[in-house]
A and B are shown apart, each in its own frame.
Chain A
Amino acid sequence: MTVIDKVAPEGSKAGERTSPRPTFRHKLSRWDVKVSPYLYVAPFFIVFGIVGLFPLLYTAYVSMFKWKAGDDDPQFIGFDNFKELFADSQFWNALTNTVSIFLLSSVPQLIIAVLLAALLGARLRGATGWRVGILLPYAASLVAIGIIFANLFGPKYGLINGVLQTIGLDPVDWQASRFGSHVAIAIMVNWRWTGYNALIVLAAMQAIPKELHEAALIDGAGTWRRFTAVTLPLLKPTLIFVTITSTIGGLQIFTEPKLFDALPGSNNGGSTNQFQTVTLYLYQSAFENYNLGYASAIAWVLFVIIVLIALVNFFLTGRLARTPAVKKK
Chain B
Amino acid sequence: MRTIRNGLVLALGITMTALGATACGSGGDQTPAAANPNEHVELTLSTFTEFGYEALIPEYERLHPNIKITHRKTGQGGPYHQDLITKLAAGSGLADVAAVEEGHLSDVLDKGSKFNDLSKIGPADASPDRWLGWKYDAAKTKDGKVIGYGTDIGPLAMCYRKDMFKAAGLPDDPEAVKPLFATWDSYFAAGADYSAKTKKAWFDSAAQNFNAMVNQLPQGYIGSDDKLAVEGNQGIKDAWTKVTDAVAKGESAKLTAFSNEWNTGFKQGAFATKVCPAWMLGVIKEQAGPENANKWAVTAAFPGGGGNWGGSYLTVPTQSKHPKEAAELAAWLTAPEQQIKAFQAKGTFPSQVKALSDPALLSQTDAYFGGAKVGELFAEQAKKVQKPQYKGPGDGQIQENASSPALQAVEQGKSAADGWQQLVDQAKKITR
Contact = CB atoms under 8 A, between A and B. Distances in A.
Interface in A217-265: 262-265
Interface stretch (A98-106, A152-160, A194-202, A298-306): A152-160
Contact of B3 (A34, A155, A290): A34
Most buried by A among B85, B259, B265: B259
A148 to B, nearest CB: 10
A268 B89 contact: no
A46 interface: yes
A228 to B, nearest CB: 45
B3 A176 contact: no
B7 interface: yes
A157 B11 contact: no
Interface in B228-260: 254-260
A268 B268 contact: no
B395 to A, nearest CB: 14
B8 interface: yes
A268 B259 contact: no
Nearest to B261: A154
Interface string A258-277: 00001111111011100000
A70 B257 CA distance: 31
A45 to B, nearest CB: 9
B338 interface: no
Nearest to B253: A156
Interface residues of B, number: 47
A311 interface: no
Interface stretch (B51-59, B76-84, B185-193, B384-392): B76-84
Nearest to A68: B89
B409 A287 contact: no
B72 interface: no
A151 interface: yes
Contact of B401 (A39, A266, A270, A290): A266
Contact of B422 (A36, A38, A272): A272
Nearest to A31: B3
A264 B74 CA distance: 13
Interface of A: 31, 34-36, 38-39, 42-43, 46, 69-70, 90, 147, 150-151, 154-158, 173, 175-176, 262-268, 270-272, 284, 287-290
Interface of B: 3-4, 6-8, 10-12, 15, 75-76, 78-79, 82, 85-86, 88-89, 111, 114, 254-261, 264-265, 268, 270, 397, 400-401, 404-406, 408-409, 411-414, 422, 429-430
